[in-house]
Structure 1
Amino acid sequence: MPTAKPSIVFAHGLWADGSCYSKLIPVLQCEGHEVVSAQNSLDSLDGDVDAVHRALARVSAPALLVGHSWGGYVITAAGTDERVAGLVYIAALGPDTGETPEALIGKFDPPPLFSHLDSEDGRIWISRDGISDFCGDLPQEEQRLVWATQGAPRAEVLGSTVGEPAWRTRPSWFLVTTRDRAVNPELQRFAAQRMGATVAEVDSSHVPMLSRPQEVLDLIRRAASSL
């Protein structure tokens, strides 16, 4: 039987895993939502979209997809699934048809984080001195944990493209992070305006689900209540 409230499926970004939403999931579960956080391999867009589809199969429809950073690409592609009713973008990349992450990022000044990335065995890592550009508003011990547990994406994901974007046919919400040093806030505003999203802003780094979880929860609640 469908639940009274929409289900919520999370898609994480680069240098993360599904546990990056650990400050949100218990709260949403207590509020009556079915919640699953997909574990993306960061090997390819197709593989990460498949992970979201598997997560959708484990919850009741309708579902709200929530994507952080690279997860914006993932939910833009996966969100055309008939089980999806809405999209929430968090400090995310919101592509249009045929647009790669490299091309989208290149529309604005490059973020400081990109000067602190290491490439090894075809994968991209955040260097130790770059973690403050990723999550600098977290306590030092949490920053060290984020660095130690980072998921390293294959370099090829930066050349990924989507087909017809889900935001053309699904309502969308967008949380812009104004102190973001990983995804330019102006790029976020551009993507949100292009998709016609309902926009909120928060004074945070690239990881508001860890540093400002209440504001992220507020936007998710707003989106869920409108479905």
Structure 2
Amino acid sequence: MPTSTKPSIVFAHGLWADGSCFAKVMSLLRADGFEVLSAQNSLDTLEGDVAAVHRALGRVSSPAVLVGHSYGGTVITAAGADDRVAGLVYLAALAPDEDETSQTLQDKFPTTDVFAHIEVADGRIWLRPSGIECFAGDLPSQEQQIVWATQGVPDTDLFNQRVAGTAWGSKPSWYVVARDDRTVHPELERFCARRMQATTYELDSSHVPMLSHPDEVADVIRSAARAISSSPAAVG
């Protein structure tokens, strides 16, 4: 059961994923007594996904730590402006500034690996089976196939959308760089981490460190939670 001395943890997933991508980390944190919840982003609009995180914040105790993976970093950057949020954890994530979109940020350090394995159909961007190696190449083959089969499929315009709010400009942040990432360029991840002055960790990981390195990722979230718990001024 959660305790009043621990912040709650709210997760936001990215493209080609759903909330279950955090299951391994959530299990570890729940065993430690953390209250955890994952928003289920529709990947239809950025505004709708930010609203989904706000709804999740309404179902947990405050203060909260937001954890965003990949495009989920864009989501928590906007949603994190909420007064209920005390800190942000980015996992191989985008973190646009006020005048940027997910796409213009990604254009600073483009990677072609995964985007050579996509297909646009029915107004959505699908990851082909051949792309799972670029996305989650350090997972066992069977687990890779489950990740592919449960992919959340984004709207084609999603990366061009903006929502006001740059929470990392005013709230403490932590960042996990995935050194072997072939979906978001590791140099883009380092750029984002430096710009937000995040406490930064690097893992020898594919784009999904929460699946391939759950213990290490859980440790980063625990560190963020401890820092917030010992610094009331960080809340708000």
TM-score bracket, normalised by the shorter chain, equals over 0.9
Deviations 1:62-115 (Å, cap 9, x if unpaired)? 000000000000000000000000000000001001211211111113241011
1:33-62: CA deviation from partner (whole Å, max 9, x where unpaired):
111011000001110011101110111000
For 1:195, the equivalent position in structure 2 comes to: 196
Q: Is 1:219 aligned to residue 220 of structure 2?
A: yes
SS of alignment partner, residue 190 of structure 1: helix
Which residue in 2 is equivalent to 1:9?
Answer: 10
Structure 2: 5+ residue stretches without partners = 229-236
Return the alpha-carbon distance in structure 2 between the equivalents of residues 165 and 145 of structure 1. 33
Deviation track 1:6-27 (CA, whole Å, cap 9, x = no partner) reads 0000000111000000101121
Aligned residue number for residue 234 of structure 2? none
Q: Distance in 2 between matches of 1:86 and 1:111?
A: 32
State yes or no: 1:159 paired with 2:172. Answer: no
Shift of 1:177: 0.1
Matching residue of 1:93: 94
Aligned letter for 1:150? Q
Tell me how far apart the structure 2 counterparts of residues 219 and 9 of structure 1 sit (CA, whole Å).
Answer: 14
Structure-2 residue corresponding to 1:19: 20
Other structure's SS at 1:23 match: helix
SS at match of 1:175: strand
The residue that corresponds to 1:45 in the other structure is 46
| TM-score after normalising by structure 1 | 0.98
Structure 1's consecutive aligned runs of 4 or more residues displaced over 6 angstroms after TM superposition are none
CA contact (8 A) 2:47 2:163 kept: no
Letter in 1 for 2:148: W
> Quick check: 2:30–2:36 contact (8 Å CA) kept in 1?
yes
CA distance in 2, matches of 1:175, 1:22: 18
TM-score using structure 2 length: 0.94
Residue in 2 aligned with 1:110? Answer: 111
Root mean square deviation, CA, Å: 1.2
